[in-house]
Structure 1
Amino acid sequence: MTTATAPPDGVARPRTARSATRSPIGFGFVTMGLLVVWLVWVSDGHSPSPGLTADLTRFELGTLVAGSSVPAARTAVEREREQLTRERDAFHRFTTEVESIPVSTDGGVGFPLVGVRRANAVAGELGSVRAAYRDSVMELDHFDQFYDEQLYDNMSSELSEDVATAVVHGDQFSLPVKRAAIQRATEAGLRRERLLQTIDAERDSLDRAQRHLREIESALDAEPPLTDFTLTELFDYERRLTQLKDRCERLLCTRQRHIHSEATFRPHLDLLFVQTYLYADLETDFPVLDACIRRYSRLETRQQAVHHEITYR
């Protein structure tokens, strides 16, 4: 996958460009903006007003996207988790290998980590460093598939331009070069580890949301035709539908809070939300919000049918 701009410091660069035909939730960006405003307003402690929820229903957001994106989102999360784990382990292997490569004992100890391209030491060991990087980090299939970079480009984005210049274009291996390569590779692995924590939190949030959505869907699918209800049962059913709508609203608020809580991810990427990074190949960046709105729309439609049945019976 490709992207126009890579995040700084080589942190889990987004691996896909959004399709030009990809459609957001509802009637495009205007509707998505209304949804976000509503969700932020609710998450700030306000109660959803009947007018706002009615407006959402009039848009009939739930009818505009075919099928839930939550299972696809779960698959995307698992795929990303697997790739990040392999990258973390690859940088660990590279670090271990570099630690075993000897350097000169007579010079270069006082060199700072910056400017390592000027370092002097034993010749002939840089090839081992390059081979170690190729056999660990660049051996990953998805690195070649998504980035298709040469050794220097990949090492520069992951370990810094100084380290890449010293290792790829240099001919001598010094202690500053070794220290810099180990330090940068360790940092690259730690970045993946932090991202994995964010990915795990997202996976748990998806699983909880999926359970709630399934319960709501089961409650909708289990009901017989409205003509089979007595008038008393219709009133009871209408109250149950209101309760289910309240559950949808609570799930929307909970999910919105989770989306905004992942602040640890944002400083490393030029993206506002981790979901934009994870779900760029899906129909929507916010699959749980999409599913909740569609459930809410279905509940609202069913409730209107109950009102009609009560009125004209």
Structure 2
Amino acid sequence: MAATHADEGSDPIRAARAALRVERRRTVDEREALRAFRGRVSSVPTEDGNATAAGPAAMDPTRGAGGAIGGAAGSPDGAGGAASPGSGLVAVRDAYRATVMSVPHYETEYDDTYERSVAAEFGPEIAYALTRTDSFHEAYKRSLLSAIETAVQEREAFLDALESEIESVERAGSRLDPVRSEVAAIDDELGDGDAAAAAAGFGALDACRTRIEALVEDCDRIAARRQRVLADHERRLAIGDDIDFATYCYQDLDASYPILAAVGTLGDRLERLRDRIERAMARTR
């Protein structure tokens, strides 16, 4: 069945709402999993020895937080490296698998090995320390706990952005609804075809054209506000070099910018309606 004009305008917004609900649930799951992992790591005892096998960079707590569970990493696959059974590194690995790698969407979204996952999440240096050495040294623990805290904070910042985006989508939808209703009302008033529209008379048609211009201005304001919200997301939150916040959230949708797509669809309908009105006005002269 062909989509109605209302469906054309509202589908992207409904899809955006659904995508945001999924993303918020997954981000909360990841944040809570990281918090649980942090608690378990805190209770893992450290082991004596020289903590230099992974290189000095691995001991730097300011490096390595990857900001995403899973994803591509520069380290090789592996499930545990040189750690001996019963060591602190094994305890860390088991804790990670039981928390971070056990979020409901892990297999669908990431499906990485342990080593690739910790490399993507915390950086290759910490991943090397956790998977390619033989003891869980105090320096490793400090660096790991710091990286976990950074990852938690990144999820919290992303959740703040999601809440702002959800509010923006709801606001845009509530403002587009009356515009859409007004367009439908004008369409009904004009009837079927240019001849029916011309029968309304020049004055009535001119009034409809004025209403159309006001609705175009409403759409322009909605679009401008959306652009400001998207720009604010980009200032506050860095997703990656090759993807912005909206594209990340809506990557599985037909439109990467669903609100702007909805505004554009409605704008196209307004333009067609204005053209029809002007053709009908020409017939009345």
Match for residue 248 of structure 2?
277
| Alignment partners' CA distance in 2, 1:108 and 1:192 | 33
Is the Cα contact below 8 Å between 1:74 and 1:203 reproduced in 2? yes
| Alignment partners' CA distance in 2, 1:91 and 1:179 | 15
| Alignment partners' CA distance in 1, 2:56 and 2:159 | 28
Which residue identity lines up with residue 299 of structure 1 in the other structure?
L
Match for residue 311 of structure 1?
282
Match of 2:208 among 226, 237, 244: 237
Cα 1:265–1:274 shift into 2, 3 Å = farther
**SS of residue in 2 equivalent to 1:141:** coil
Q: Is 1:203 aligned to 2:159, yes or no? A: no
Q: Is 1:68 aligned to 2:11, yes or no? A: yes
| Alignment partners' CA distance in 1, 2:223 and 2:232 | 14
Match for residue 134 of structure 1?
97
After TM superposition, which residue ranges in structure 1, 4 or more long, deviate above 6 angstroms?
106-113
Which residue identity lines up with residue 100 of structure 2 in the other structure?
V
1:1-150 pair list within 5 angstroms: 68-104=11-47, 114-115=57-58, 124-150=87-113
Q: Is 1:221 aligned to 2:184, yes or no? A: yes
Structure 1 unmatched ranges of 5 or more: 1-61, 117-122
Match for residue 292 of structure 1?
263
Q: Is 1:253 aligned to 2:253, yes or no? A: no
CA drift at 1:84:
1.0
Is the Cα contact below 8 Å between 2:9 and 2:262 reproduced in 1? no
**SS of residue in 1 equivalent to 2:97:** helix
Cα 1:268–1:114 shift into 2, 3 Å = same
* Identical columns (%): 27
CA distances 1:202-236 after superposition (whole Å, capped 9, x unpaired): 21111111111111111112343324745433322
Cα 1:115–1:250 shift into 2, 3 Å = closer
CA drift at 1:95:
0.5
Over the aligned positions, Cα root-mean-square deviation in angstroms equals 2.7
Structure 2 unmatched ranges of 5 or more: 60-85, 191-195
Cα 1:288–1:171 shift into 2, 3 Å = same
> TM-score of the superposition, structure 1-length normalised?
0.70
Is the Cα contact below 8 Å between 2:58 and 2:140 reproduced in 1? no
CA drift at 1:171:
2.7
| Alignment partners' CA distance in 2, 1:257 and 1:115 | 39
